[in-house]
């Protein structure tokens, strides 16, 4: 930005082949002064000159030395990832020999000795755990694993810029069929990989149109309305009282009416900051899509009709009108704000998913909290379960070197089969992983989902993976934010939902 | 005579009144001007839950005062010190390299009148107009291919992309320098290299300072270029760090973010207050000259 | 006499040129190499890629002009252009008028001039990303206290916010240049005008402004290009919200490039960048011609 700052076009114009007569009194004056100055300089400061030269020279030398030291101390400077430094060098060599020795190294997972792993993680809430797990793996096997976590909402941006680099992620994730479509050229064939064989169900393998496995789901999650049982009791209700949208509305509005007396609100803030808006533009928006797909008997579409948008409006209205803050302030409310409100007992309900368990369990015991389905007044509400599914499919970068691919496959497999790996994923990250070797997760929301299924409730599947693009979600998010604040109308939301769906699909086809 | 004097006195009284009012007005204006920085400082001392849009202007109270906890958290969590070091290193190495190489290049251009040197000059001017978005993707890829993606050699990229401005400024000044001194030095038996370092460099000191200031301000604050070029697995600069506070690790941490903003701008302000004379002269010299 | 000295000079000059020319690997080459890496090659390659479809450079297919025809597809580019143009005009006017006004007042020799100058210049040293967040916090605080919608859903506030931010950052810088220009106006000239009975207003419009025309050229050029190419501040202050309504061209291109997935977008982004570059060149040339002509008349 600063670069343009000193473009002084007096000179440019003099030199460019555009002839405009110019008069520059200041410039002339100035250069005369300058000339006088340096002639004086020369007379009086003959000694000075030498000094300046030596200072400049020594400055240059010091910099050169610093640069030298810098590159030598490069590895220690990288501190936490010295292994990956060495690995990068090793792989550079390995990369050079990769083509020559491709046939030898063609057996993936046979030996991961040479390769390295670079995992671009999607889940910021599990960043620390991934770093630990990666360090454990490196300690155990000596294979360098680097985990970089993209900022919330920046996964696609980071993936795009990282994939363009020569040292690209070897392991990344796509969110489902739509995501796969964009990255299909870069997804390694996982059909025969060990990790695919370990899946509990073939449904968790993400296949392309030819039936080739390109991605593997690594976590099954549920979301719904997390409920503080104690507060609900204080308000005079139990979760048994909420079995439909009408029940939920009645309870929520009753709590709002007695807000001052009770000292808490019904819903935690429906934050529309980018750290939080996915709860509504993606997760909540899944419900109208799900019910439409159910009604039409389809599992994807290029033209959504928006049959259940009124239900979407009802639940969203309920959220924003019975919450801890004025709807106008929602645009700046973050994920932290909502979580803190729930943790501080300022709200009974909090729409989020099983991934929140680890942060909520620090304050609440398993008996204090539970998760109820998001009722929107559509379908058979008596049989509605939590929203359960996945948008997290691991892919291996097909463009990586053979060694790196082998190392990545080995690492993935280790995560879901080894004791350390399964334990970390289940306990520390609170994940339910769809593998036969999985450790039971202590996650109370996951248990709730299992109980629901056992009781004959039907989980709501995750259809938001068929949303046309990130762009579509963002536009919907903006429209929702504006609607909540009263600066936009519901018609804008409708248009962002229905019209934009078709537009984005047509753009994807370009 | 007396009347004229009286008039003059009255007028100077009037002028003094106006000046006094102006001083007051400007003082108030200055307070408003530095208020944003004061506000950040204030908020960086609050606990996270006390920071929200509606309470942004409140002073920290006993129950919301967080001390330096945010600073400690921000610095440790983000590994802020190493980012600071990288930013500093990148800035110093790039600016030194730019000054050295570009002044040499500019001298060559101003003293040698060939097609090649002319072409180089026009290309440099041209490069100043080109927006970064035009080259961001290909530049990132080129830097990556050549492994110029660490803080220790990214200065070459900065030299390449920043050369236009520096060469332009140096050439402008050097063309106005009389040749006599250099000729005298040559007759004394100086080789061009000696001549450059002993004669030309000292004379160009004013331009060197203004160019160095402009380039420093650019490199230190640059966000997009290091984001796209640097190996983000290992290195982050300060602007990247600040951007990371938004939304990384699943949350927006306003309090530590503001603490880090304060740490970021304090050295800049201190440096400015100490070298104010040079900086302002540099800006003026750069603008009037050129 | 004179011709003889002149030719002697020419001889020495030519001799020097000859001896310097041999040293091109020392003087020219390092910069040339870096310049090729950091600018020339990426620029040429960028133009080529604007005619291609690609996701990473490993798979590039030539598609001719189709990227250019698709620029308008997502209709954000046109809006971004309008927003940028409006912003550029507004900020150029605001910054230059205010900076010039302050410069005039600060050259009167009032008390505290140095302190004022120091403070006004200070924000210029703070980086765009940081500035954006500072102002986001401040403006959101103000808006919420006034009960207005916050920046993220308030296009007008976003526009005003960017304007205030740019003003805060750049007024000091431009002021310094104007002060230098005004100080160069000869006091004799002003005194002479005063004796002739010129009013302060006449002195300002008839003497001071024409005399600082070169400074005005520089400052308008700087504010114009800075505003037109604005990126960091836009990214951190509004991020383009609401719904890309406050998105400027540079951010729009970045967004097309990196935030949209799918191979088609990179080529379109690159094509947008080429158009953007051409716009910058055209605007710079028009502005220079315009202010230059005024300068000559003065």
Contact predicate A234/A294, CB 8 Å: no
List of chains touching A (3+ CB pairs within 8 A): B, C
CB atoms within 10 A of CB A484: 27
Task: For residue B159, give the nearest of C31, C117, C119 by CB distance.
Answer: C31
CA distance B238 to B259: 13
Distance from CA of B19 to the nearest CA of A (A): 28
**DSSP sequence for C267-278:** HHHHHHHHHHHH
Residue with the bigger pLDDT between B264 and A5: it is B264
pLDDT, position B17? 85
Contact predicate A170/A404, CB 8 Å: yes
Tell me: pLDDT of A25 over 80: no
Q: What band does A89 get if pLDDT is binned at 50, 70 and 90?
A: very low
pLDDT, position C99? 94
CA distance A395 to A172: 5
**DSSP sequence for A267-324:** E-----STTTTHIIIIIITHHHHHHHHHHHT-S--SS---TTHHHHHHHHHHHHHTBS
Q: pLDDT tens across A236-284, in order?
A: 998 888 999 999 999 999 999 998 888 899 999 888 877 788 899 999 9
Domains in chain A: boundaries: 114-219+391-436, 222-389+447-508
pLDDT, position C103? 92
Q: pLDDT tens across B197-238, in order?
A: 888 889 888 888 888 888 888 899 899 999 889 988 888 898
Tell me: pLDDT of B83 over 80: yes
Q: Which CATH architecture has domain B78-245?
A: Orthogonal Bundle (1.10)
Judged by average pLDDT, the poorest of A61-70, A168-177, A190-199, C181-190 is A61-70
Q: pLDDT tens across A400-446, in order?
A: 999 999 999 999 999 999 988 988 888 888 788 888 888 777 888 88
Judged by average pLDDT, the poorest of A27-31, A191-195, B225-229, C57-61 is A27-31
Judged by average pLDDT, the poorest of A148-162, A316-330, C44-58, C86-100 is A148-162
Average the pLDDT over C110-131 and give the result: 87
Average pLDDT over chain B reads: 84
Q: pLDDT tens across C239-278, in order?
A: 887 778 889 999 999 988 888 877 788 889 999 999 999 9
Query: Which pTM was predicted?
Result: 0.79
Average pLDDT over chain A reads: 77
Provide, as residue numbers in chain C, all residues whose Cβ is less than 8 Å from the Cβ of A485.
Answer: 149-150, 153
Q: What band does B264 get if pLDDT is binned at 50, 70 and 90?
A: confident
pLDDT, position A324? 87
Q: pLDDT tens across C5-48, in order?
A: 555 666 777 777 788 888 888 888 999 999 999 999 999 999 99
Tell me: pLDDT of A35 over 70: no
CA distance B94 to B76: 27
Average the pLDDT over A476-496 and give the result: 89
Q: Which of C47, C113, C127 to mutate to test the interface with B (most CBs of B within 10 A)?
A: C127
Residue with the bigger pLDDT between C237 and C289: it is C237
Q: What band does A55 get if pLDDT is binned at 50, 70 and 90?
A: very low
Q: Give me the CATH code for the A222-389+447-508 domain, please.
A: 3.40.190.10
Q: What band does A318 get if pLDDT is binned at 50, 70 and 90?
A: very high
Query: Residue A279 is encoded by which pair of tokens?
Result: 């709860």
Task: For residue A151, give the nearest of B172, B197, B244 by CB distance.
Answer: B244
Task: For residue B228, give the nearest of A77, A152, A161 by CB distance.
Answer: A161
Average the pLDDT over A25-44 and give the result: 38
- Residue where the block lists tokens 């050129």: B290
- Closest residue in B to A119 (Cα) is B233
Residue with the bigger pLDDT between A2 and A208: it is A208
For chain A, what percent of residues have pLDDT higher than 90? 30
Tell me: pLDDT of B153 over 50: yes
The answer to whether the Cβ–Cβ distance between C28 and B117 falls below 8 Å is yes
Nearest residue to A409 (alpha-carbon basis) of A266, A213, A245, A257: A213
pLDDT, position C260? 80
What ipTM is given for this predicted complex? 0.84
Judged by average pLDDT, the poorest of A101-110, A500-509, B259-268, C151-160 is A101-110
Indicate the fold that domain A114-219+391-436 takes in CATH: D-Maltodextrin-Binding Protein; domain 2 (3.40.190)
CA distance A233 to C120: 58
Assess whether the region A114-219+391-436 and the region A222-389+447-508 belong to the same CATH fold: yes
Parallel/antiparallel/unpaired status of strands A347-353 and A265-267 = parallel
Average the pLDDT over A119-138 and give the result: 88
Provide, as residue numbers in chain B, all residues whose Cβ is less than 8 Å from the Cβ of C126.
Answer: 221, 265, 268
Q: What band does C129 get if pLDDT is binned at 50, 70 and 90?
A: confident
In terms of phi and psi (left: phi > 0; alpha: psi -120 to 50; beta: otherwise), the region of A79 is left
**DSSP sequence for B8-29:** HHHHHHHHHHHHHHHHHHHHHH
A vs B, Cβ pairs < 8 A, gives 191
Average the pLDDT over B98-108 and give the result: 93
For chain C, what percent of residues have pLDDT higher than 70? 94
Tell me: pLDDT of A122 over 50: yes
Indicate the fold that domain C76-297 takes in CATH: MetI-like fold (1.10.3720)
The 3-state DSSP class for residue A227 equals strand
List where CATH 1.10.3720.10 sits in chain B.
78-245
CB atoms within 10 A of CB B132: 20
Average the pLDDT over A336-340 and give the result: 84
Task: For residue B192, give the nearest of C9, C20, C270 by CB distance.
Answer: C20
pLDDT, position A275? 75
Residue C23 sits at the vertex; the CA angle it makes with C20 and C24, to the nearest 5 degrees, is 105
pLDDT, position A65? 38
Helix (H) or strand (E) holding C129: helix C128-145
């Amino acid at each position: 930005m600063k670069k343009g700052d000193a473009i002084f076009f007096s000179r440019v114009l003099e030199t460019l082949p555009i002839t405009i007569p110019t008069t520059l009194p200041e410039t002339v004056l100035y250069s005369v002064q300058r000339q006088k100055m340096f002639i004086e300089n020369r007379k009086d400061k003959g000694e000075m000159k030498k000094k300046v030269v030596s200072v400049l020279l020594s400055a240059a030398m010091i910099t050169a030395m610093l640069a030298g030291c810098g590159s030598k101390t490069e590895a220690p400077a990288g501190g936490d990832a010295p292994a990956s430094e060495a690995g990068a060098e090793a792989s550079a060599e390995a990369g050079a020999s990769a083509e020559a020795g491709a046939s030898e190294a063609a057996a993936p997972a046979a030996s991961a000795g040479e390769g390295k792993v670079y995992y671009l993680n999607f889940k910021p809430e599990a960043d620390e755990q991934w770093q630990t797990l990666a360090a454990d793996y490196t300690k155990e096997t000596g294979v360098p694993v680097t985990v970089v976590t993209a900022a919330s909402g920046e996964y696609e941006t980071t993936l795009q810029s990282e994939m363009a680099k020569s040292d690209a992620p070897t392991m990344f994730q796509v969110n489902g069929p739509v995501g796969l479509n964009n990255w299909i050229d870069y997804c390694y064939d996982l059909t025969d990989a060990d990790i695919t064989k370990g899946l509990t169900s073939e449904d968790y393998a993400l296949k392309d149109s030819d039936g080739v496995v390109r991605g593997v789901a690594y976590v099954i999650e549920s979301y719904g309305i997390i409920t503080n049982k104690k507060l609900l009791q204080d308000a005079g209700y139990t979760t048994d009282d909420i079995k439909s949208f009408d029940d939920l509305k009645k309870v929520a509005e009753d709590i709002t009416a007695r807000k001052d007396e009770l000292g808490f609100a019904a819903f935690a803030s429906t934050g529309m900051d980018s750290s939080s808006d996915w709860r509504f533009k993606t997760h909540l928006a899944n419900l109208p899509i799900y019910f439409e797909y159910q009604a039409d008997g389809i599992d994807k579409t290029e033209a959504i009709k928006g049959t259940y948008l009124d239900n979407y409006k009802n639940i969203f209205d309920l959220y924003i009108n019975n919450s801890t803050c004025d709807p106008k302030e929602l645009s700046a409310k973050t994920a932290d704000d909502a979580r803190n409100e729930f943790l501080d007992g300022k709200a009974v309900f909090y729409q989020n998913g099983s991934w929140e368990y680890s942060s909520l369990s620090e304050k609440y015991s398993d008996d204090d909290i539970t998760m109820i389905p998001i009722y929107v007044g559509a379908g058979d509400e008596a049989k509605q379960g939590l929203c359960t599914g996945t948008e997290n499919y691991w892919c291996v970068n097909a463009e990586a070197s053979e060694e790196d691919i082998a190392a990545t496959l080995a690492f993935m497999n280790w995560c879901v089969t080894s004791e350390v790996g399964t334990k970390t994923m289940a306990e520390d990250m609170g994940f339910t992983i769809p593998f036969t070797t999985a450790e039971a997760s202590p996650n109370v929301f996951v248990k709730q989902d299992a109980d629901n299924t056992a009781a004959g409730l039907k989980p709501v599947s995750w259809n938001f993976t068929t949303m046309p693009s990130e762009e579509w979600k963002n536009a919907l998010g903006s429209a929702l934010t504006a609607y909540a604040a009263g600066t936009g109308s519901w018609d804008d939301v409708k248009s962002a939902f229905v019209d934009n769906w078709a537009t984005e699909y047509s753009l994807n086809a370009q | 005579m007396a009347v004229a004097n009286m008039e003059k006195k009255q007028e100077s009284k009037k002028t003094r009144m106006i000046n006094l009012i102006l001083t007051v007005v400007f003082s108030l204006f200055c307070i408003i001007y530095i208020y944003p920085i004061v506000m950040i400082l204030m908020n960086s001392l609050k606990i996270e839950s006390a920071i929200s849009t509606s309470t942004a202007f409140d002073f920290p109270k006993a129950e919301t005062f967080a001390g330096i906890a945010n600073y400690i958290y921000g610095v440790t969590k983000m590994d802020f010190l190493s980012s600071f070091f990288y930013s500093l290193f990148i800035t110093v190495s790039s600016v030194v390299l730019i000054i050295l190489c570009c002044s040499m290049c500019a001298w060559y251009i101003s003293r040698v009148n060939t097609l090649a040197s002319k072409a180089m000059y026009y290309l440099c001017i041209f490069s100043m107009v080109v927006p970064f978005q035009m080259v961001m993707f290909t530049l990132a890829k080129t830097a990556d291919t050549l492994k110029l993606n660490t803080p220790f050699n990214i200065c070459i990229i900065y030299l390449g992309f920043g050369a236009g401005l520096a060469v332009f400024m140096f050439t402008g000044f050097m063309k106005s320098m009389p040749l006599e001194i250099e000729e005298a030095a040559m007759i004394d038996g100086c080789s061009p290299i000696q001549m450059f370092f002993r004669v030309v460099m000292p004379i160009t000191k004013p331009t060197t300072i203004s160019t160095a200031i402009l380039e420093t301000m650019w490199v230190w604050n640059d966000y997009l270029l290091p984001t796209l070029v640097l190996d983000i697995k290992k290195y982050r600069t300060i602007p990247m760090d600040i951007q990371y506070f938004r939304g990384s690790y699943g949350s927006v941490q306003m309090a530590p973010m503001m603490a880090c903003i304060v740490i970021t701008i304090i050295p800049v302000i201190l440096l400015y207050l100490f070298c104010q004379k040079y900086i302002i002269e540099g800006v003026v010299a750069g603008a009037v000259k050129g | 006499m004179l011709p003889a000295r002149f030719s002697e000079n020419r001889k020495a000059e030519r001799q020097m040129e000859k001896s310097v020319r041999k040293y091109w690997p020392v003087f020219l080459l390092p910069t040339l190499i870096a310049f090729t890496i950091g600018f020339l090659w990426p620029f040429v390659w960028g133009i080529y890629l604007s005619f291609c479809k690609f996701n990473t450079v490993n798979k590039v297919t030539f598609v001719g002009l189709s990227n250019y025809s698709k620029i308008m597809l997502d209709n954000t580019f046109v809006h971004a252009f309008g927003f940028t143009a409006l912003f550029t005009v507004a900020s150029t006017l605001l910054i230059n008028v205010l900076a010039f006004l302050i410069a005039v007042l600060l050259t009167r020799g009032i008390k505290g001039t140095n302190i004022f100058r120091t403070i006004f210049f200070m924000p210029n040293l703070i980086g765009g990303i940081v500035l954006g967040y500072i102002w986001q916090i401040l403006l959101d605080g103000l808006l919420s206290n006034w009960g207005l919608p916050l920046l993220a859903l308030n296009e007008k506030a976003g526009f005003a916010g960017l304007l205030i931010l740019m003003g805060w950052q750049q007024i000091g810088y431009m002021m310094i240049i104007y002060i230098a220009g005004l100080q160069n106006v000869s006091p004799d000239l002003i005194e002479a005008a005063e004796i002739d009975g010129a009013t302060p207003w006449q002195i300002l419009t008839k003497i001071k402004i024409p005399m600082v025309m070169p400074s005005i050229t520089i400052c308008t050029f700087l504010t114009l290009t800075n505003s037109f190419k604005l990126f960091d501040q836009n990214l951190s202050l509004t991020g383009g919200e609401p719904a890309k309504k406050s998105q400027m061209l540079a951010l729009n291109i970045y967004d097309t490039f990196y935030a949209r997935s799918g191979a088609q977008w990179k080529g379109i982004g690159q094509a947008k960048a080429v158009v953007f570059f051409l716009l910058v060149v055209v605007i710079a040339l028009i502005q220079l011609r315009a202010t230059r002509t005024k300068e000559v008349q003065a």
